[in-house]
């Protein structure tokens, strides 16, 4: 199994790479030329580092990159700077998910591949009509309007939910929804739910980035766990 990870240089992505390296998996990452990555990665033969800007890549190039990959993970997200939040590319995550899925379809793998997308609990799973309060809906609508990364996260998940769907012969997916991200340096107990158990706006929970990475890695490596969550948008909270 070879796994392509995008957003690998981010706070969660780094944990995911380390988790999969310690399980002896072969990994490819696409990171920006300016990305800050650990020196140890440079000498790791299990890790193939591609320096480039995913938002400038075309489908031919991506098809070549993914030609030997059978699992995919995105921890991409907009940097929390004015340029990252309000500048281009505003559809960073959506376009990357779409590009990778188009490349997978072109490659037409023999068996369906896995795609794990890191998303947000601020996004609803409209496949299962999650109930939220009117006040929550109003706040999210304002966030969507004023903060472009919210719309990007929603569109990225919608691409998998609606365009790839539940019965794609070559792509299976899980969209992971953490609540407020915090940093911890070891994996702790965490809970998984098909939908949020409290309002992400009015009563937010906490999720460690390392726990998100752990769950993403387990989904990629454990087919039973994958079967349980395939085509869903599990919410992950620290216990
Ligand atoms: N903050 C929260 O509480 C929260 C809660 C739930 C979900 N989330 C979601 O989770 C995502 C990941 O969280 P995180 O803390 O791990 O994020 P992070 O540390 O900011 O990592 C973001 C990743 O995306 C890459 N990236 C950013 N802009 C890019 C661009 N224009 N082109 C290519 N790559 C780009 C970064 O690359 P560089 O290293 O090159 O910058 C980095 O690898 C968030 O962005 C958000 O959507 C956040």
Domains and CATH numbers, the chain: 2-238 (3.40.50.720)
Q: 162-185: per-residue pLDDT in tens? A: 999 999 999 999 999 999 999 999
Q: 26-73: per-residue pLDDT in tens? A: 999 999 999 999 999 999 999 999 999 999 999 999 999 999 999 999
Helices 148-158 and 134-146: crossing angle in degrees, nearest 10, is: 110
pTM: 0.97
Test site for ligand 1: of 5, 6, 8, 10, most ligand atoms within 8 A of the Cβ = 10
CB-ligand 1 contact for 90 (6 Å cutoff) = no
CA 176 to ligand 1 center in whole angstroms: 14
CA distance 55 to 57: 6
Cα dihedral sign, 72-114-91-9: negative
Nearest to 53 by CA among 73, 75, 32: 32
Test site for ligand 1: of 55, 77, 123, 214, most ligand atoms within 8 A of the Cβ = 77
Q: 78-90: per-residue pLDDT in tens? A: 998 999 999 999 9
In the structure, what pLDDT confidence band is assigned to residue 1 with cuts at 50, 70 and 90?
Answer: confident
CB-ligand 1 contact for 153 (6 Å cutoff) = yes
């Amino acid at each position: 199994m070879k796994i392509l990870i995008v957003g690998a240089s981010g706070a969660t992505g780094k944990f995911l790479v380390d988790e999969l390296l310690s399980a002896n998996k072969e990994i490819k990452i696409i990171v920006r030329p300016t990305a800050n990555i650990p020196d140890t990665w440079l000498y790791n033969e299990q890790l193939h580092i591609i320096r480039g800007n995913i938002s400038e890549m075309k489908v031919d190039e991506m098809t070549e990159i993914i030609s030997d990959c059978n699992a995919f993970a995105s921890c991409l997200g907009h940097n929390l700077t004015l340029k990252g939040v309000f500048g281009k590319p505003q559809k960073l995550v959506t376009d990357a998910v779409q590009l990778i899925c188009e490349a997978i379809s072109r490659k037409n793998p023999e068996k369906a591949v896995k795609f794990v997308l890191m998303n947000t609990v601020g996004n609803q799973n409209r496949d299962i009509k999650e109930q939220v309060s009117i006040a929550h809906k109003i706040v999210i609508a304002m966030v969507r309007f004023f903060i472009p990364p919210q719309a990007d996260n929603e569109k990225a998940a919608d691409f998998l939910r609606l365009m790839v769907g539940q019965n794609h012969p070559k792509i299976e997916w899980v969209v992971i929804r953490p609540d407020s991200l915090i940093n911890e340096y070891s994996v702790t107990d965490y809970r998984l739910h098909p939908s949020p158990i409290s309002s992400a706006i009015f009563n937010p929970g906490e999720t460690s980035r390392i726990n998100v990475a752990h769950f993403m890695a387990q989904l990629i490596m454990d087919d039973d766990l994958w079967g349980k969550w395939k085509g869903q948008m599990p919410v992950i909270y620290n216990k």
